[in-house]
Amino acid sequence: MSASGRDVGRILYQLTLNNRRTWKSFVPDIFLEKITYDTERRYELISTKEGVRESFLKAIGEEIEVKTYGEKMSVERFEKFSMISNFRELFISGKLRSGTPVVLCGCGKFPSLWIDVLKSHGINDIVLSDLNGGLVGNKYREYEVLSPDEAEKMMGKGFHAVCGHSSRTDTDTWKSLLRGKAYNITDLLKEVPDEKSA
């Protein structure tokens, strides 16, 4: 039980279980393996930090029944939902170019997919950073998650910061941390128009 009275173990158990059910029911098969890894890794690290890893392991070990409601989301729709299309638009618009080193400000839900987009456009120097202390210092695949202070040092060395792909609260925090500093920063939510505003 946390200081606020929340049962953190129960919350992380439900989050892990619900994400397993949700992704399998609507994510296109070509993305499912990487999304499953990213989600499970995130909750594994957070549950370890909170001292409730057994709740995560219980949720991972349970057999689940996946209810489908019609067909899975199309690849095109999922790419919009997951912001893959927003990342691609950065190259179309010229905001990012091949060879530009990038800091992803926030791991978000789909870091493996976003890294794939960056690499497919010739960006191989990629850094992950996050505000959550449970993720910092740990790895998503081969990428160690840096603290915001460490990420800022990379920006000072010419890395282009990309934010807006994580939660709105995290994005606002990143923008507040970096406001007024002479870094190359792109907010996906602000700089890439959606269909309604395009």
In order along the chain (198 residues), what is the average pLDDT of each group of 10 residues? 67 92 91 95 94 95 80 93 93 93 94 97 96 94 95 93 87 85 74 40
Q: Are 129 and 122 in contact (CB under 8 A)?
A: no
Q: Is residue 70 domain-shared with residue 92, that is, in the same domain?
A: no
pLDDT value for 105: 94
Same domain for 87 and 149, yes or no, is: yes
Instruction: Give the chain's domain count.
Output: 2
Predicted local confidence at residue 6, as pLDDT: 74
Same domain, 103 and 71: no
Alpha-carbon separation of residue 52 from 2, 43, 64, 185 (angstroms): 11, 10, 21, 36
Q: Are 22 and 69 in contact (CB under 8 A)?
A: no
pLDDT of residue 146: 97
Give the pLDDT score at 3: 42
Question: What per-residue confidence (pLDDT) applies to 92?
Answer: 93
Residues 91 and 54 in one domain: no
* Same domain assignment for residues 91 and 112: yes
CA distance 126 to 176: 22
Range of the domain at 107: 82-191
CB 145 within 8 A of CB 136: yes
pLDDT for position 1? 42
Identify whether residues 86 and 155 lie together within a single domain: yes
Whole-model pTM: value is: 0.87
Q: Are residues 94 and 6 in the same domain?
A: no
60 and 132 in a common domain: no
